[in-house]
A and B are shown apart, each in its own frame.
Chain A
Amino acid sequence: MNERIQEKLSILADAAKYDTSCSSSGGKRKNENKGLGNAEGMGICHSYTEDGRCVSLLKILLTNHCIFDCAYCVSRRSNDVKRAAFTVDEVVDLTINFYRRNYIEGLFLSSGIFSSPDYTMERLVRIAKKLRTEHKFNGYIHLKTIPGASEELIQEAGLYADRLSVNIELPSELALTTLAPEKNYQEILTPMGQIRDGIIQNKEEKALFKKVPAFATAGQSTQLIVGASAETDLQIIKLTDSLYQGYGLKRVYYSGYIPVTDDARLPQVTQPPLIREHRLYQTDWLMRFYGFQADEILDPAHPHLDLEIDPKLAWALRNRHVFPVDVNTAEYEMILRIPGVGARSAKRIVAARRFARLNLETLRQLGVVLKRAKYFLTCQGEHQPVIGELSEQQVRRQILFGSGAVRSALVTQQLDLFAQAS
């Protein structure tokens, strides 16, 4: 019996791990019933994998049996893989016992589709319900909705789960029809809209009546696979933007495509596009926390993110005319846009300048990365960068290759001038 559980866990954790959306933040569940656990605010990373990812939830599939045949997926029907399925009680028992030992913040449950979408979804809902009602479990629960599941089941899922997600997987309809022919965009967007409406309606009802059951209070999220199809970064961040704006999503996750199956429709890659994935997350971050608009970062003339430098620096290099920014007088929003100044240093700059004028030394102490920032800021005349006089390439080279490269480049230039003058 124990060995069987071990085997199931290894198969079903292994199959779930390529889904990168594993955050447990944004929960609002308190432990008010003297039950087990709470899910308030920031989730905790209880461990880290050897690739440095946060382990916060027990992330498993209920089963990796599937009637569908999506090209990018390990669990697809035509793949000859080991299959397994948990029972409802096994998942409940694992979750409770991991949670009690402080291994996890909660459960992230997803599944391949056995028999039918509703049959599968009904089991996912039953697990969440059992945890909440029989075990008074207040830890975090994230359920992935099964494409094609009925409206009633999604509604019920929202009562027990803190977060619901519908994975878009492929960033365009064209890619979806080629790589996942049994799915369609409508089937993905409809539940997304439904969850959004459920959350909004729940908020309105909460305002009117005190005792309204919560509905997916940590919101919904989705995941996009990057690099399995040909979309540009511009297309991807436009899609992200519309998901944040139009569907009120809490998070969009990007997962660099890792070759998991052998399929002629997929690109032959050996390395997952990790840097691209990282740049997309940075861009996502800039849009959510730094006040950047999607089209400020990329436009049809520049449809791809620069892999060499981060998107904020890239923006600054293209917009050299707004620099240098004076840290002693500029608005907070502008200070946030200086490369090398993070949100925390920006806040500290605005606070500290009420006490004393800032200079380069104090900036360094506030955590500003001067190596980058010095090209883009001034401190009331004390430091005058020459950003206006340098070309994009020059600043870029200096930041990337350090001041040694700078000096030699400048020296050569001056020698040239000297030669011309004489």
Chain B
Amino acid sequence: MLPLKPIRRPTSVLASAAPRRPGAPALTAPPRDYTYDGTFEGLLTVLFTIYDWRAAPSSIQPEASAQVGLFAQPAHRETDEALAARVWDGLLKSMDSEARTRLYHVFLSEDADRELLIFRYVNLALRSAQDVAENYANADVRRVQRLAQQMFREKHRMEAFVRFEKTQDELFHATIEPDMDVLPLIAVHFTKRYADQRWLIYDRRRHYGLYYDLTRTDVVQFEAAAGRKTTDVSATVFDEREPLFKLLWQVYFDHVNIPERKNLKLHRRHMPLRYWKYLSEKQPREVRFEPIQNKQPVVGKEVSAGQKALE
């Protein structure tokens, strides 16, 4: 079996109905550059620190990619799970759990400005008497909504476009390369739906996957064995009927098309080109598509005569 190593993900905490507390300490100290370890908990720890030190961030960056000015002194905070959990719970005092979830989605969106955006949103929420989630006149609120929406769309697409292939040992395997880090968001859907088959969905871009073993779903990483790409499953032996169903799916896809209505622009809008790589129906055909001629008029018309001439 594949070597598995779980990755930490924020555990969702049940919403507690705490009373709203107005106000947050004013950020009076000089602004600072912050770095963190790139995890969501790490970012939550930074949020805590900002209010603890009363120093607004001029930047928040993952440590690995941090670029700071020549004279700047980046403040690095080690991730503190307990603090992170406290901040995560505390957010509910100034927003509902839906808005809080949106912030997590913004984080997963991998947007270049995500950390500062999350800070600004939280800061706005802390200082506002009303729920800011619907304050669409504010640019940060709109941006958060936009990113969360894009995330939702990508999640939806992945739930649609995953194509499993059955291996000889009855594992259903799929590879994806989503625009954003959606695996944590699609786990629930696939776990509910495919409860009676083992499956693995692997994010090739981010080098980790989800694996369901008939009892639970785990986040897994493939340890790169020296000099060998273990992430490649193309060497796997497929179930003997796998090629048949792939072929039948292609046959089905070709035959439900209505040529009179052809609209490739619409087609591409729904199924952007970048997803085609892993869609079995978009792979080259081994058997040429032959349209069923049933639609043509049957009694001696020029059309059918012409058709005959072509045959």
Interface residues of A (CB under 8 A from B): 2, 5-6, 9-11, 13-18, 30-31, 34-38, 44-55, 58-59, 74, 79-82, 94, 97-98, 100-103, 136, 258, 260-262, 271-272, 274, 348, 351-352, 354-356, 358, 362, 365-366
Measured between C-beta atoms, what is the minimum distance from B60 to chain A in Å? 26
Chain A residue at smallest Cβ distance from B300:
A262
Provide the bound-state CA to CA distance between A148 and B126, in Å.
65
Among A13, A47, A80, A100, point to the contact of B197 (Cβ < 8 A).
A100
Q: How many A-B residue pairs have CB under 8 A?
A: 175
A-B contact pairs, 28 of them (CB 8 A): A6-B251, A9-B255, A10-B255, A11-B292, A15-B292, A35-B196, A36-B197, A47-B160, A47-B281, A48-B267, A49-B257, A50-B257, A50-B267, A51-B257, A51-B261, A52-B263, A52-B270, A53-B258, A54-B270, A55-B256, A79-B294, A80-B298, A102-B174, A136-B196, A261-B298, A262-B297, A348-B136, A354-B134
Contact A51 B266 (CB under 8 A): yes
Interchain CB contact under 8 A, B298 and A79: yes
CA distance A13 to B258 in the complex (A): 11
Given contacts A53-B261, A102-B194, 13 further A-B contacts (CB under 8 A): A2-B244, A10-B292, A13-B251, A13-B255, A16-B256, A44-B159, A50-B267, A52-B265, A102-B164, A102-B174, A136-B196, A261-B297, A358-B137
Chain A residue at minimum C-beta to C-beta distance from B301 = A262
The yes or no answer to B20 lying at the interface (CB within 8 A) is no
| Partner-A contacts on B (CB < 8 A) | 130, 134-138, 142, 156, 159-166, 172, 174, 192-197, 241, 244-245, 247-249, 251-267, 269-271, 279-281, 287, 290-292, 294-295, 297-299, 301
What 8 pairs across the A-B complex have the smallest Cβ distances?
Answer: A52-B266, A262-B297, A51-B261, A351-B134, A81-B294, A352-B136, A48-B270, A14-B292
Shortest beta-carbon distance from B185 to chain A in Å: 14
Contacts of B257 in A (CB 8 A): 17, 49-51
Q: Kindly list chain B residues whose C-beta atoms are within 8 Å of the C-beta of A14.
A: 255-256, 291-292, 294
In the complex, A261 Cα to B292 Cα: how many Å?
14
Q: Are B258 and A101 in contact, with the CB atoms below 8 A? A: no
Complex Cα distance, B300 from A257, in Å, reads 22
Whether A58 contacts B258 by the Cβ 8 Å rule is no
Interface contact A274-B193, CB-CB below 8 Å: no
Q: How far is the CA of A263 from the CA of B174 in the complex (A)?
A: 48
Let me know if A352 and B270 touch, CB within 8 A.
Answer: no
Q: Contact at B251–A15, with CB atoms within 8 Å?
A: no
Contact of A47 among B259, B269, B271 (CB under 8 A): B271
The residue that A9 contacts in the complex, of B161, B195, B248, B298, with Cβ under 8 A, is: B248
Interface core residue of A17, A44, A48 (most chain B CB under 10 Å): A48
Q: Which residue of A lies closest to B249 (CB)?
A: A103
CA gap between A43 and B267 in the complex, in Å:
18
For residue B38, give the distance in angstroms from its CB to the closest CB of chain A.
Answer: 31
Task: List the A side residues contacting B301 at CB < 8 Å.
Answer: 262
User: Once bound together, how far apart are the Cα atoms of A94 and B292, in whole Å?
Assistant: 20
Give bound CA distance, A58 to B298, whole Å.
Answer: 28
* A74 in complex: contacting residue of B245, B287, B290, B295, CB < 8 Å: B295
Give the chain A neighbours of B260 by CB distance below 8 A: 258, 271-272
Q: Are A34 and B193 in contact (CB under 8 A)?
A: no
Cβ of A30 to closest chain B Cβ, rounded Å: 8
Closest CB in chain B relative to A73 CB, distance in Å: 11
> Does B248 lie within 8 Å of A272, measured CB to CB?
no
B108 CB, min distance to chain A CBs, angstroms: 20
The secondary-structure label for the interface of chain A is: loop
CA distance A382 to B292 in the complex (A): 61
Closest to B264 in A: A50
CA distance A365 to B279 in the complex (A): 35
Q: Is the CB of A49 within 8 A of B194?
A: no
A81 to B296, CA, bound (A): 9
Partner among A17, A44, A262 whose Cβ is within 8 Å of the Cβ of B298? A262
B197 x A31 contact (CB < 8 A): no
Q: Quick check: A352 and B137 within 8 Å, CB to CB?
A: yes
A51 lies within 8 A of B136 (CB) = no
Minimum C-beta distance from B156 to chain A (A): 7
Q: How far is A5 from B247 in the complex, measured between Cα atoms in Å?
A: 11
User: Which residues of the other chain, B, contact A9 by a CB distance below 8 angstroms?
Assistant: 248, 251-252, 255
B137 near A46: Cβ-Cβ < 8 Å:
no
The residue on A at minimum CB distance from B196 is: A36
Instruction: Assess the B292–A102 pair: CB atoms within 8 A.
Output: no
Q: A351 to B145, alpha carbons, bound, how many Å? A: 14
User: Are B163's CB and A36's CB within 8 A?
Assistant: no
Q: How far is the CA of A121 from the CA of B48 in the complex (A)?
A: 65
Question: Among the listed B135, B164, B266, B267, which residue makes an inter-chain contact with A101, where contact means beta carbons less than 8 Å apart?
Answer: B164
Provide the bound-state CA to CA distance between A351 and B262, in Å: 40
Task: Give Cα A107–Cα B261 distance, bound, in whole angstroms.
Answer: 23
Give the complex CA separation of A43 and B301 in angstroms. Answer: 43
Measured between C-beta atoms, what is the minimum distance from B271 to chain A in Å? Answer: 5
Collect the chain B residues with CB atoms within 8 Å of residue A348's CB. Answer: 134, 136
Contact of B247 among A6, A51, A351 (CB under 8 A): A6
Q: Quote the shortest CB–CB distance from B193 to chain A (angstroms).
A: 5
User: A13 is contacted by which of B130, B256, B287 (Cβ under 8 Å)?
Assistant: B256
User: Which chain B positions have C-beta within 8 A of A82?
Assistant: 292, 294
Taking a contact as CB atoms under 8 Å apart, the answer to whether A47 and B130 are in contact is no
Give A52's nearest chain B residue, CB to CB.
Answer: B266
Distance (whole angstroms) from the CB of A324 to the closest CB of chain B: 21
Judging by beta carbons under 8 Å apart, are A46 and B256 in contact?
Answer: no
Separation of A16 and B256 alpha carbons in the complex (Å)? 8
